[in-house]
Copies of this chain bind each other. A is one copy, B any other.
Amino acid sequence: MVGRLTAIYHVRSDARAIRARAQAIAIEQSVEMPLSAIDDAFVVSEIVGRVDGIRAHGDGVFEVRIALAVETIGRDAGQLINMLFGNTSLHDDVVLHDVDLPANLVTSFGGPRHGLADLRRRVDAGQRALTCSALKPQGLPPSALADLARRFAEGGIDYIKDDHGLADQHYARFSKRVEAITAALEKFPATRYVPSLSGDIDNMRHQLAIAARAGLDAVMVAPMLAGLANFHRLVREHTSFAFFAHPALAGAARLSPPLLIGKLFRMLGADAVIFPNHGGRFGYAPEACRALAKAALAGWEGLKPCVPVPAGGMSRERVPEMLDFYGADIMLLIGGALLAARERLVAETASFVAEVKNYGHG
C-alpha cells in the first residue's frame, strides 16, 4: 500500500455540483483520464485521487480534501507542486488552501538548514527580533548601493538584502555589486549582506560562488521564479548558505500564502521567508499573515524554524504593533521608509534598530 498526502482546496461551486466537481479535481490531479478506461488494479486502488471530505465554508465556497498518492511525487519538489496544483491552477474556481504531508516526505525535503536560531546567532541578536532593510532602487551603480549599505550598517541593522529587482544588469553587475558592498561592510561584522540571485540555475550557482568567495553566507532566491525543484537543489548544494525566499510570482490569489510561503518554501529549505505584511502595499489579511508566520515557525516533523519576514511598505511607526502581533521570532524588514529619510538614513535606521532592541524593556 502506498502513502497518501491530503491536498485541501477551496472550491467555488453551487451545492448541487460540488460532489462532481470534487471528483473531477481528484481525477485531474492524479490520472487525468476517464476512470472507466483504467484496468490496472494498482492504479485504481493506489494512484487515483480520492475525495476524502467536502465541507461547506459558506459564501458558495467548499473545502474539498483530496488524498493523493505520495508515490507519484518521489522526492521532487517540482512534481509535488505539479501533483498539488499543476492542471488545477488553470481552473479559476479553485484555490490550493493547504496540504497534509506524511512525515517522511517532509523530512526527506529537509527544511531550513540554518533557520531562526542560526540567523540570530550570526548577528549576535540573542532572543530579540531581527532587523533588515533593502538596497534599492535598481538602476543605481554598485558604488551608490554600497554607500546605502554602509549607512544601514552604521545605523546597526542586522541584515541588508538586495531588492528583488537587482539582477545582473550591466549598470550593477552581481560581481561588482557584491565586491563593492562587502568592501563597504568590512568594518561592520554584525551586519550581513544578502544578495539576490537571478537567471537560470547555472547563473545562480555562479553567483553563489562569487558570494562565497566574498565571504558571504546568505542569499535571496524567488522560488517561484527559479522553479521549486531548482530552489531545493540550490539549498542542498550550498550547505553553508542561509536562503531567504522572496515571494515574486507567488500569485497569492490562487495558492494560499501560508501554505506556499510558510510551509512549502520552509520545507524546501528557506531559512527566512519574506512576505507582504497586512496593512502595507499588498492585500494580505491579518489572519493570513499570522497563519503564514505560524506555519514558518511551528514544530513540524523536526524541521528547524524558518524566520518570518513581514514586509511591503512597513515603517518604523509600525514596529511595536508588529512585535505585538508576531512576537519576537521574526525579522522586521523596512526598506523604502528608511530610504525616504535620505540624509537622515543612518539616524532613522538607528531608531528602528533601537526600537526593536528595546521592545519589551521600555
The distance in angstroms between the C-alpha atoms of A135 and B84, with both chains bound, is 20
A90-B282, A170-B71, A228-B225 given as contacts; is B198 within 8 A of A78 (CB)?
A: yes
- Interface 1/0s, chain A 171-211, versus B by CB < 8 A? 10000000000000000000000000011111100000000
Q: Does A107 count as interface, using CB distance less than 8 angstroms? A: no
Closest to A341 in B: B37
A99 proximal to B (CB < 8 A):
no
Interfacial residues of chain A within 304-362, with CB under 8 A of chain B in the complex: 335-337, 339-342
Contact status of A222 and B137, CB under 8 A, knowing A200-B227, A336-B34, A340-B36: no
Tell me whether A251 and B251 are in contact (CB under 8 A): yes
**Is the CB of A72 closer than 8 A to any CB of chain B?**
yes
9-residue interface stretch from A38-46, A59-67, A108-116, A117-125: A38-46
Asked if A302 is at the interface (CB within 8 A of a chain B CB), the reply is no
A105 CB-CB contact with B under 8 Å:
no
The CA-CA distance from A25 to B199 in the complex, in Å, is 23
Could you tell me the distance in whole angstroms from the C-beta of A334 to the nearest C-beta in chain B? 11
A31 within 8 A of B: yes
Choose one: B139, B229, B254, B335; the contact of A254 (CB below 8 Å).
B254
**CB of A139, distance to nearest CB on chain B (Å):** 3
Chain B residues, Cβ within 8 Å of A140: 40, 43
Chain B residues near A336: list those with CB within 8 A.
Answer: 32-34, 37
A34 and B315 CA atoms in complex are apart in Å by: 12
| Whole-angstrom CA separation of A197 from B38 in the bound complex | 24
9 closest A-B pairs by beta carbon, nearest first, are A227-B227, A47-B139, A31-B137, A86-B248, A43-B139, A33-B336, A92-B253, A200-B233, A200-B229
Chain A contact residues, CB within 8 Å of chain B: 24, 28, 30-34, 36-40, 42-43, 46-48, 69, 71-74, 76-79, 81-83, 85-87, 89-93, 136-140, 144, 163-165, 167-171, 198-203, 222, 225-230, 232-233, 247-254, 276, 281-284, 335-337, 339-342
